[in-house]
Structure formats: C-alpha cells, structure tokens
C-alpha cells in the first residue's frame, strides 16, 4: 500500500471515530452453545433496533471458544456458560475485566429419552447395571461437564459411572444423543432440555456446587469497541432479558 493511501485511511478512521460514527461494521459474538436459540433472537432484535449493526454469531463449547480467542480469532464479545472459563480469559488478558457482567442463570438437569423404560428418578439411580451409556460434556472444555463432574463427585458416583460416560463436544451434542436414544441418560441445562420436550424427559434437577451464572465481556483489542459495549448493554437490558427468560433462563 502506498504511504499516501495509508495516511488517508488512518485519517478516515480517525474522522469516523471523532464524529461518533463508531457503530458501523460487523460485530462478532462468540457464545456458549446453550445460548444458541436465545442469542439468535437477541441478535435479530438488536439489529432491528440498530439497523446500522450487523451481528455474526459463533457458538460452541465455552472452552473451545476460549481456545479460538487465545489463538487470535477476531471476536468482539465473549459469553461463556461458566465463571471459570471467563476467569481464564481474564488471566490471559483476553477480555476487559471492567466490561465483564453476569447476565443470566441456568440449572443442571438429568434427562432420559421420552420413551425410556429405565427407572431413573435421582442421581443415585445411575448406578444401576442396566444403564450403559451416559452423555456428559467433556469436563476439560465444556462447562456443563464440569458442573456434572462436581455433582457426581459430591455424590460419590463419579468413579462408579465414569466408565459409562460418553463425552460430548458441547451440551447440544449431549442433548442430541439423548433425544435420538443413543444413550440411556445425559446431563444438560434445563434450557436445552426444554427445547426438545417432545423427545427428552427431565427426571431430576441436579444441585450444582456453584451457581450456574453466565458472564459476558468485551474482548481486548476488539475491532469495534463501541458496538461491543452497546451489544452488552442490550443483553443486560429488559428486552433481551425477556427473550432469555422465554427460553427458560433465570434472571440474576
């Protein structure tokens, strides 16, 4: 690029910023898989309110999204399903701590296929010999898997059922395995189970060792700082909170 042209681009960028026209452009939001349906609707509502905005959504396990961010993926806003993942992002200097906010809560549940004949009513029932496969998010990268492992360890069941675990890449994969009857049971969030109420049945709500709170934050060095802040403010506002509540998320 010629020096003169480069200087012109720098000047144009400075002019847009000084004029307050800093919202234009695409905003990339990486969010936990369990937020998929809710965030799609929130993004649509956001773009209707702000026609100058364009939201690109990227969903996956929180740990996988963190790895993408650490490797330089162009992400402006990060929303994880647990505090631990966001804490790691903060320690690695990937998010702006001052712009981190908890915005919603969830619950851990144990589900079975709707047509299941296995008698499961509580966590301890997983010890039955007839239960051969249990879907669980990989605890190394999937928050729902970590919540599940902590619950099973607290009940002294982890070592008993560990050999029957089918580790999944994210919570939606665990949900799909149960919905298709490929496993005898699985652990998901209450919001995920509600999406397939015609195919899966919640048999128990599992007490989590820590409150399941979802944080959202701007990333450091994001491409559109003002747009990122505006989107986070929108997620925290009543309109988006109502959308989240509609999908079964609980308010703080």
pLDDT over threshold 90, residue 2: no
Binned at pLDDT 50, 70 and 90, residue 209 comes out as confident
Q: What integer pLDDT is reported at residue 24 of this predicted model?
A: 52
Answer yes or no: pTM beyond 0.75. yes
86 and 117 inside one domain:
no
One domain for residues 121 and 178: yes
Both tokens of 171, joined, read 């919570």
Residue 89: inside a domain: yes
Number of domains in the chain: 2
Dihedral over Cα of 152, 153, 157, 159: its sign: positive
148 inside domain: yes
| Whole-number pLDDT of residue 183 | 97
Q: Are residues 198 and 221 located together in one domain of the fold?
A: no
Per-residue pLDDT at 116: 92
Asked whether residue 197 carries a pLDDT value surpassing 80, the answer given is yes
**Mean pLDDT, range 26-48, rounded to an integer:** 97
SS (H, E, C) 115-175: CCCCCCCCHHHHHCCCCCCEEEECCCCCHHHHHHHHHHHHCCCHHHHHHHEEEECCHHHHH
Residues 12 and 98 in one domain: yes
Q: Each residue of 19-29: pLDDT tens digit?
A: 333 445 699 99
Q: How confident is the model at residue 7 (pLDDT cuts 50, 70, 90)?
A: very low
Residues 6+ away with beta carbon under 8 Å from 90: 97, 100, 217
Residue 252 counted as domain residue:
no
Bigger pLDDT: 209 vs 85: 85
Range of the domain at 130: 108-206
Write down the pLDDT at residue 4: 35
pLDDT (average), residues 212-239: 96
Q: Does 9 map to a domain?
A: yes
Instruction: Report the pLDDT averaged over residues 204-212.
Output: 92
pLDDT confidence tier of residue 208, bands split at 50, 70 and 90: confident
Mean pLDDT over 6-22 rounds to 36
The answer to whether 141 touches 61, Cβ cutoff 8 Å, is yes
| Helix (H) and strand (E) counts in the chain | 10, 10
Residues 93 and 155 in one domain: no
Q: For all residues of the chain together, what is the average pLDDT? A: 90
Whole-number pLDDT of residue 21: 37
Across 17-26, 41-50, 93-102, least confident range: 17-26
Q: Tell me the three state secondary structure of residue 213.
A: strand
- What is the per-residue pLDDT for 164? 95
Based on the fold, state whether residues 94 and 113 are members of the same structural domain.
no
Tens digit of pLDDT for each residue in 45-93? Answer: 999 999 999 999 999 999 999 999 999 999 999 999 999 999 999 999 9
Secondary-structure percent of the chain, ordered helix, strand, coil, rounded to 5 = 45, 25, 30
Residue 71: what pLDDT? 97
What letters, b where the CB count within 10 A reaches 16 and e where it falls short, cover 167-203? bbbbbbbbbbbbbeeebbbbbbbbbbbebbeebbbeb
Indicate if 100 and 117 belong to the same structural domain.
no
122 and 173 assigned to the same domain: yes
| Whether residue 14 has pLDDT greater than 50 | no
pLDDT of 133 higher than 60: yes
251 in a domain, yes or no?
no
CATH code of the domain containing 193: 3.40.190.10
Say yes or no: 62 and 139 in one domain: no
Residues 88, 112: one domain?
Answer: no
């Amino acid at each position: 690029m010629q020096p003169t042209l480069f200087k012109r681009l720098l000047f144009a960028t400075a002019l847009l910023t000084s004029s307050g026209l800093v919202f234009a452009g695409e905003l990339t939001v990486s969010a936990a898989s369990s937020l998929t349906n809710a965030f799609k609707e929130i993004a649509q509502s956001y773009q209707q309110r702000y026609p100058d905005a364009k939201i690109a959504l990227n969903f996956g396990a929180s740990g996988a999204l963190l790895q993408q961010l650490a490797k330089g993926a162009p992400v402006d806003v990060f929303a994880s399903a647990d505090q631990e993942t966001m804490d790691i992002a903060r320690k690695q200097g990937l998010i702006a701590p001052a712009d981190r906010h908890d915005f919603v809560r969830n619950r851990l549940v144990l589900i079975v296929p709707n047509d299941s004949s296995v008698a499961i009513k509580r966590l301890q029932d997983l010890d039955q010999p007839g239960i051969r496969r249990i879907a669980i998010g990989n605890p190394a990268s999937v928050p729902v898997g970590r919540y599940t492992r902590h619950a099973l360890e607290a009940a002294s069941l982890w070592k008993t059922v560990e050999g029957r675990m089918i580790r999944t890449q994210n919570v939606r994969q665990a949900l799909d395995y149960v919905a298709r009857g490929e496993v005898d049971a699985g652990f998901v969030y209450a919001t995920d189970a509600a999406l397939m109420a015609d195919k899966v049945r919640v048999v128990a709500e599992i007490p989590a060792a820590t409150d399941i709170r979802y944080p959202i934050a701007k990333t450091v060095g994001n491409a559109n700082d003002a747009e990122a802040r505006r989107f986070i403010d929108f997620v925290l506002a009543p309109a988006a909170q109502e959308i989240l509540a509609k999908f079964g998320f609980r308010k703080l």
